[in-house]
Amino acid sequence: MQMNTWFWRGMLLLALPMASAQAQDISLQQSRKIISEAMELYGSEKRDAAIRLLESIHPGDTSYAEAQLLAADMSFDKKDYKKSKMHALQSLYMPSARRNAAYNLLALSYHHLGVNDSSDYYSELGLNAFPFDALLAYNRGLALNARG
């Protein structure tokens, strides 16, 4: 009888990580669905609804950085530079394959807000991390040229 109890305890310990992984996959699938829905809304000119939908993704989700970067890009397109800056910063706090885009959006948002020191700071950080990113270098040049 005692051996049977130990067997079931061992099985339970093996099953817990699998249940956790399945829950994580469900969350990831739902966030991917949310991102797809937000892109559809954005395509149909419902930008505010798309941004709100992206903001609903939990910071613990693996797609959070991507969602924040998309929200930053959409906010920038609406010329809401403060919101774009906020979302781009949130994206930088998480691991992401598109950190260069976050640096670019931050530098551009600060430039449009007239905060040149911060614009320079983030464009330099981005260019130090991604020295061959042509868009970062191009937008840095445009910002410097606009100042005269």
What per-residue confidence (pLDDT) applies to 97? 81
- The span from the CA of 93 to the CA of 124, in Å, is 17
pLDDT of the residue at 22: 44
In terms of phi and psi (left: phi > 0; alpha: psi -120 to 50; beta: otherwise), the region of 58 is: beta
The whole-number pLDDT of residue 28 equals 55
Give the per-residue pLDDT at 31.
87
pLDDT at 60: 85
* Burial class (CB within 10 angstroms; exposed 0-12, middle 13-18, buried 19+) of 128: exposed
- Please check whether residue 39 is in contact with residue 50, taking contact to mean a CB–CB distance below 8 angstroms: yes
Q: How far apart are CA 72 and CA 105, in angstroms?
A: 7
According to DSSP, residue 94 is labeled S
pLDDT along the chain (148 residues), means of 10: 53 48 52 91 91 92 91 94 94 85 93 94 94 92 88
